[in-house]
Chain A
Amino acid sequence: MSAGALILVLSSLLIIGGGLALFLWAFFSGQFDDIHKGRMLPFDEEEPAGKRTDQIFQEEPSEIKKKHNKGEEQTRGSR
């Protein structure tokens, strides 16, 4: 193997080793601790969890009222 090739092999081994070491360090130093909090990141005060969005094909509340004809106040939109 030529000198250049040897250097390439050694440097790739260094990079592999370095990458793995950093990942393990990150893992054991608690970088991935806040698992439960992480799940909630797409949500905020304006668009909270528990609220469905983008239900465009859902029937309008007035149409549902007409259909069910139960005289109830509650509609799907305000749940």
Chain B
Amino acid sequence: MDPGSNQPSYSVSDLDRKARFVVLFLIFSGVFWLLFGTLLALVASLKMHLPDWLGATGWLTFGRVRPLHLNTMVYGWASLTGAGVALWMLSRLLKVPIMLRGYIIVAGVVWNIALMLGSIQILAGFSRGIEWLEFPVSTMVAIVLCVIIMSASVLLMLITRRVKQLYVSVWYIIAAFLWFPLLGLVSSLPIFDTPTVQAGMNWWYAHNALGLWFTPVGLAAAYYFIPKVLGRPIYSYGLSLLGFWGLALFYNWNGFHHLVGGPVPTWFVTISISASVMMVIPVVVVAVNHHMTVVGSFRAVVNSPTLRFVVFAAMSYTFVSLQGAAQALRSFNEVIHFTHFVVAHAHIGMYAFVTMMLFGACYYIIPRITMREWHSKGLIKWHFWLTAIGIIIYAGALQGIGVFQGFTMIDPEVPFTDTVTMTIPYLVARSVSGFLMTAGHLIFAWLIVRMVYRTGEQPATPHVWQKIREEFAT
């Protein structure tokens, strides 16, 4: 608090109340795209081992459904919900209501419309044809403009904040809202007009979208919710600083590790491999910080739906980042490049880390902005176990067979067709895991809809958090 300040201060309930409509709107939008993207995922996954299924029309061909799945999950589910979660956290940490709420709602509507139009365009065959950038430029520019409105809100909140010092989550969130529009704009520029240069931009963009948009929002959530639920401050603030700057300085350069062995200058690739390995430092720093904060509080983690998801996600972040650093090394890359191992790696990152983190954040945020309780503890547990087991099966199956696929692919004695047939049972396992995750998502959506529309009964006894808040109310 600034001493001598005449600004009115906001209570936690004030902030949550003002955040209610905006954050719920963004989360609802995100969950809609989660369900749509999940349906696309099931179609794509089934088509890989049932290639003739739904094969009559171009609208549903694998080559269009699969990129639409990626784009709706990335720019729909993860970005919209991530934005809502980030804005809510920022409001709490800067002790100021979310600014420009009306504009953000409009931006959210435009964003959803852009996603719908972009989805139709991809299925109709007008994909931009660049991985992670399949949405037409019009869609991407619209989304970037919407994010810029949110970035303006973030900056206004920063300027009018009621706390002096910025918590680590705040740095990550501000950075994310500055980085992502820049990424989106640069990648939309028509200046990358030769194929290999465009490939460089492609992977600079895609990897940075992961590390400079989703990772910061995810880490901001971990740094906020772990202390919040446990009631224990983060183990070392200095370490979190190191982690942030490490991410900022090293992550940017990783992009070309996607092009190891490709038609680009070798020394560029080597820079990216070095940066990928240097990332181990901030990743380990974050892992140590989280672990030391959580250690000894296992019961508290298990008792909180938020922390079940958040801790699962934080551990996945450490795992997938260390794995990624290993994948950049040429000797490992030679084996696993172009295999299902990499697909699973991407899903560990976007699902086991980002998505599970967002689930956990929603379980904390939604009761507080709606002032209601989850109507079924059992369903929450189902959601957790279905999605956790789902992604573990997914990753285990595809990374397990991916390594073998890679080894057989670099063995010229093995006919290529065998490298495909060996993966089929594991692709089936992936579809099974997909059904588990789908069930989890439907349960999650149902829980939220019930929560907001208040159909049915509320639990008779208030839960622990409400009791504590009543105890401390003055």
Contacts and interface: CB of A to CB of B under 8 A. Distances in A.
Contact of A32 (B12, B234, B241, B381): B241
Contacts of A25: none
B233 A49 contact: yes
Contacts of B464: 52-56, 58, 77
A32 B171 CA distance: 13
B303 A55 contact: yes
Question: Does more than half of chain B's interface fall in helix, strand or loop, or is it mixed?
Answer: helix
Contacts of B12: 44, 46-47
Interface string B447-474: 0000000000000010111011100111
A20 to B, nearest CB: 9
B141 interface: no
A41 B467 contact: no
Given A49-B233, A52-B300, A53-B228, A35 B381 contact: no
A38 B167 contact: yes
Interface residues of B, number: 48
B233 A42 contact: yes
A32 to B, nearest CB: 6
Interface residues of A, number: 30
A36 B238 CA distance: 9
Interface string B28-50: 00000000000000000000000
B281 to A, nearest CB: 16
A39 B303 contact: no
Interface in A16-50: 23, 32, 34-50
A47 B467 contact: no
Contacts of A37: 165
A42 B227 contact: yes
A70 interface: no
Nearest to B381: A57
B315 to A, nearest CB: 19
B444 interface: no
Interface string B367-393: 000000010010011000000000000
Contacts of B167: 38, 41-42
A38 B289 CA distance: 14
A50 to B, nearest CB: 5
Contact of A56 (B168, B232, B237, B304): B304
Given A38-B237, A56-B304, A50 B231 contact: yes
Contacts of A58: 303, 464
A55 B300 contact: yes
A58 B305 CA distance: 10
B229 interface: yes
Contacts of A77: 464, 467
Contacts of B374: 56
22 contacts: A23-B245, A34-B165, A35-B236, A36-B237, A37-B165, A38-B165, A38-B168, A39-B227, A42-B92, A42-B167, A42-B169, A43-B231, A47-B12, A52-B231, A53-B304, A54-B305, A54-B363, A56-B464, A57-B304, A57-B381, A58-B303, A58-B464
Minimum-distance CB pairs A-B, first 3: A39-B233, A41-B167, A38-B237
Interface of A: 23, 32, 34-58, 60, 62, 77
